[in-house]
């Protein structure tokens, strides 16, 4: 198995890194030549447990695997760009800017000769993939596998069990933005525990619901598989009811399917074989 450490520069100058692994037996005869894998909030291409556990299974099926950083890798980092160093990471990113990152990685795979490319995103990485594929100028990919994209919904979170906590954080973020402190970091605990700028919190979770996948899925034009872990669906408001909700947005183009992986948590710990088997079974029918 060969591993090639690679880097790309997005259209706005942000430089990103990743690892491209190729199967020893050569290109896959199946529907997917290569998977572009996108990590979740605060993770990165080399430390993401879920993608790291899944990658060998995808390689064994004959597909190349590119685990790629987006500009939201890690929580806070200093990233190189053509304009110098910039503050990046989940705390400072705008989810919409991931379309630039995805475009750069797809270009690299095309330059390496891969044509049947699948997007595989985990958590926020899945939302980024859906956001890019729902755009009017969506990139051309063969398929989308979205593992555990949460429901980022102001309305849903406001009415959840932890709604008062969420609304308190949101009011604090709005106040900081109004005071000209948009880039001030906040430590929030819901919907996840992490540091984020006030402006980033408003952008990600605000009433505009820019990243609510239930408002995007019917615009995705490639075959789509959505997976969730049974444990996360039961335990967290961001995932409760999502397997049933996403199925309502199936179209002739996306042929959307959803699957619940029994016993799986958000990281699919101990369930990589089951998840990979579900993806392989679905992908085998795409040809």
Please check the confidence at residue 81 and state whether its pLDDT lies above 70.
Answer: no
Beta bridge partners of 146: 121, 226
| Gap between the Cα atoms of 29 and 32, Å rounded | 8
pTM of the model: 0.96
Residue 88 main-chain phi, psi, to 5 deg: -130, -165
Residue-wise pLDDT tens digits, 110-136:
999 999 999 999 999 999 999 999 999
Q: Kindly indicate the confidence band of residue 78, based on its pLDDT and cuts at 50, 70 and 90.
A: confident
Rounded to 10 deg, the angle between the 163-178 and 198-205 helix axes is: 130
Nearest CA among 100, 44, 51 for reference residue 74? 44
> C-alpha 16: how far from its chain's center?
16
pLDDT of residue 28: 62
Distance of CA 224 to CAs 227, 231, 250, Å? Answer: 10, 22, 9
Domain ranges of the chain: 2-151+212-283, 153-210
Q: Kindly indicate the confidence band of residue 86, based on its pLDDT and cuts at 50, 70 and 90.
A: confident
Residue-wise pLDDT tens digits, 12-28:
999 999 999 999 876 56
pLDDT of residue 268: 97
Please check the confidence at residue 90 and state whether its pLDDT lies above 90.
Answer: yes
Sorted by sequence, the CB contacts under 8 Å of residue 121 that are 6+ apart come out as 37, 38, 127, 128, 129, 130, 144, 145, 146, 147, 149
CB 225 within 8 A of CB 257: yes
pLDDT of residue 87: 87
Domain spanning 2-151+212-283: which superfamily? Alpha/Beta hydrolase fold, catalytic domain (3.40.50.1820)
Work out the mean pLDDT of the chain and round it to a whole number.
94
Report the C-alpha dihedral over residues 280, 52, 106, 132, rounded to 10 degrees.
80
Residue-wise pLDDT tens digits, 255-264:
999 999 999 9
| Gap between the Cα atoms of 200 and 74, Å rounded | 15
């Amino acid at each position: 198995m060969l591993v090639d450490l690679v880097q790309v520069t997005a259209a706005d100058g942000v430089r990103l890194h990743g690892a491209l692994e190729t199967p020893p037996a050569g290109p896959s005869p199946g529907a997917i030549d290569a998977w572009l894998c996108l990590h979740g909030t605060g993770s990165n291409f080399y430390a993401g447990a879920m993608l790291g556990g899944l990658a060998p299974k995808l390689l064994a099926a004959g597909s190349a695997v590119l685990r790629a950083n987006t500009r939201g890798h890690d929580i806070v980092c200093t990233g190189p760009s053509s304009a110098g160093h910039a503050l990046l990471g989940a705390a400072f990113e705008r989810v919409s800017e991931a379309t630039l990152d995805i475009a750069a990685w797809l270009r690299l795979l095309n330059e390496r000769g891969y044509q049947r490319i699948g997007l595989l995103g985990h958590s926020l990485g899945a939302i980024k993939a859906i956001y890019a594929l729902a755009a009017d100028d969506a990139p051309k990919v063969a398929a989308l596998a979205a593992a555990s994209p949460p429901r980022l919904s102001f309305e849903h979170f406001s009415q959840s069990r932890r709604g008062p906590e969420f609304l308190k954080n949101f009011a604090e973020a709005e106040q900081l933005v109004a005071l000209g402190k948009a880039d001030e970091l906040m430590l929030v605990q819901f919907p996840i525990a992490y540091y984020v700028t006030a402006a980033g919190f408003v952008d990600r979770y605000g009433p505009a619901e820019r990243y609510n996948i239930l408002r995007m899925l019917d615009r995705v034009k490639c075959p789509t598989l959505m997976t969730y872990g049974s444990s996360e669906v039961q335990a967290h408001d961001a995932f409760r009811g999502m397997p049933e909700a996403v199925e309502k947005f199936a179209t002739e183009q996306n042929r959307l399917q959803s699957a619940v992986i029994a016993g799986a948590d958000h990281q699919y710990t101990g369930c990589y074989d089951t998840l990979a088997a579900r993806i392989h079974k679905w992908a085998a029918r795409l040809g």
